[in-house]
Amino acid sequence: MIRQINRVTAAIVVLLLALIINLSYIQVFKAGDLRGQAGNQRVTLTEYSRERGPILLASEAIAESTPTSDALKYLREYADGSTYAAITGFYSVVYGATGIESEANNILAGNDSRFFVDRLQQLFANREPKGGAIRLTIDPDAQVAAMKALNGRTGAVVAIDPTTGAILALASSPSFDPNLLSSHDAGDIQANYEELNADSDQPLLNRPLAMTLPPGSTFKLVTAAAALESGNYVADSELPGPKQINLPGTDVQLGNWNDKACGAGDVTTLQSALEISCNTAFAWLGMELGADAISEQAQKFGFESEFDVPMTAAISRFPADPNKPQTAMSAIGQFDVRATALQMAMVAAGIANDGVVMNPYLISQVLGPDLTVLQNTNPSAFGRAMSVENSKILRDMMVGVVNNGTATKAAISGINVGGKTGTAENAPGEPAHAWFVGLAPSDQSKVAVAVVLQNGGGATEVSGNSLAAPIAAAVMRAVLKQ
């Protein structure tokens, strides 16, 4: 009997050992897999148990975490949420995070390796772990002015500091209140999200970064830049500017928006063609320069490239291998040319910054939990788009557009504002998109701006001026503190 007892004991000990081996497998080798499972709430709960760092403007916080008494220990709150929604994004238990909340999550949540020392200190000091903070490049005056000027109409505004690429305003309209999605009530969040998602105006869409539209006549800036850079044209170069031209190989007659010739004897200059937004002159110019030259110039401004601001912007496109009539249409920003508001602001910024295009960015500083600066963003150049001289010529031409041409509503008294309007045809029968791209002041670049109102107005250049230009003026005034 003794031998049997010993065997049974050994068997039970083996069973207990099997438990330990199995537990080691689950808690050590399989733990990572299990933590990553979609339905595992613990990851979220752990994230919410730590004080998430704030998203800051120059001084005030636009997103911060406040302690609660429920299971998720901190609630994410957005001050003036709908003004900054396109930047902050939301931070939701149900739908995850978007915008800066998502892109800078490692810093805000305190998971970044740079916080290792902080974490150790917190551990030993028995302090609650806390995430780092993000400071943005956004100028609150410009952002508020942009949102106010958009006034709920579907559209986007981007303002950039041309010398650095720092984004001063990034506005998407209509907007939403991220607080609606960042509560701790899953049912509420779901209901709110479904309502926002079902809205035909798409408030959740980040228009300045994600929406690409035909840029219309604002693209003439790129064509003009290509003409100047070719070395064959100056501001006074004469171009044919008839009432309408035939697109070669087709029956299509391309006309001007005002149904008039662009100058006496059907002749105009590059300067004048830009001022009055002459379609026939730029279509002819496009065919003369060729698709490759325009495409190359567009790429120098950032077309065909991906920009992470840190949210990844949609890539702006110039059509590949267009035929002659397609090239003519592309040269005036129609056909298959597509650009984001960010891209068009970069075009203006490149012209403003003596021809150098800077990489756009939103995060100016990464801060530790105690708000000490861990990292300053160093502005970086994307590349040179045009020579210093040509950029000066094009800036002066743009000032002419505002002072003598189609963009009079962008003028700010006492400041030389340069700009270009655009009215991009949409699908037949639908209202066109109204654009404005501008810079100010023209002699010492402080701000470049792009405004687009989706399906904003009628078919004439007037709408770019009447609808989009005043918004740009309001934003530029806010930046220049005028």
Q: Which stretches of the chain bind another protein, using CB under 8 A?
A: 1-6, 8-9, 12-13, 15-16, 18-20, 22-24, 26-28, 30-35, 37, 39-42, 45-46, 68-71
CB-nearer residue toward another protein: 24 or 253: 24
Work out how close the CB of 18 gets to another protein at its nearest, in angstroms, rounded to a whole number. Answer: 6
Work out how close the CB of 35 gets to another protein at its nearest, in angstroms, rounded to a whole number. Answer: 5
| Closest among 422, 425, 448 to 435, alpha carbons compared | 422
Q: Residue 324: which residues within 8 A CB-CB, separation 6 or more?
A: 247, 248, 249, 287
Q: Is the preceding peptide bond at 441 cis, omega within 30 degrees of 0?
A: yes
Q: Tokens 């060729």 — which residue?
A: 290
CA angle 172, 420, 343 (to 5 degrees): 45
CB-nearer residue toward another protein: 20 or 117: 20
Question: Which two tokens mark 395?
Answer: 């800036």
Contact status, residue 206 vs residue 313, Cβ threshold 8 Å: no
Work out how close the CB of 61 gets to another protein at its nearest, in angstroms, rounded to a whole number. Answer: 25
Q: What is the DSSP string of 429-460?
A: TSPEEEEEEEEE-TTS--EEEEEEEEEEE-SS
CB-nearer residue toward another protein: 16 or 198: 16
CB-nearer residue toward another protein: 109 or 146: 109
Beta bridge partners of 376: 365
Q: Report d(CA 185, CA 192) in Å as an integer.
A: 11
Taking residue 248's Cβ as centre, other Cβ atoms within 10 Å add up to: 12
Q: Report d(CA 115, CA 48) in Å as an integer.
A: 18
Work out how close the CB of 77 gets to another protein at its nearest, in angstroms, rounded to a whole number. Answer: 17
Work out how close the CB of 111 gets to another protein at its nearest, in angstroms, rounded to a whole number. Answer: 16
Taking residue 121's Cβ as centre, other Cβ atoms within 10 Å add up to: 13
Work out how close the CB of 95 gets to another protein at its nearest, in angstroms, rounded to a whole number. Answer: 18
**Amino acid of residue 248:** P
Contact status, residue 226 vs residue 219, Cβ threshold 8 Å: no
441 φ, ψ (degrees, to nearest 5): -75, 160
CB-nearer residue toward another protein: 65 or 143: 65
Work out how close the CB of 51 gets to another protein at its nearest, in angstroms, rounded to a whole number. Answer: 15
Does residue 217 have an active-site annotation?
A: yes
Q: Estimate to the nearest angstrom the gap between the alpha carbon of 386 and the chain centroid.
A: 23
CB-nearer residue toward another protein: 48 or 303: 48
- Ramachandran category for residue 62: left, alpha or beta (phi over 0 → left; psi -120 to 50 → alpha): alpha
Contact status, residue 363 vs residue 377, Cβ threshold 8 Å: yes
Among 92, 173, 217, 272, the one annotated catalytic: 217
Question: Which two tokens mark 232?
Answer: 């064959």
CB-nearer residue toward another protein: 6 or 404: 6
Contact status, residue 363 vs residue 374, Cβ threshold 8 Å: no
Catalytic positions? 217
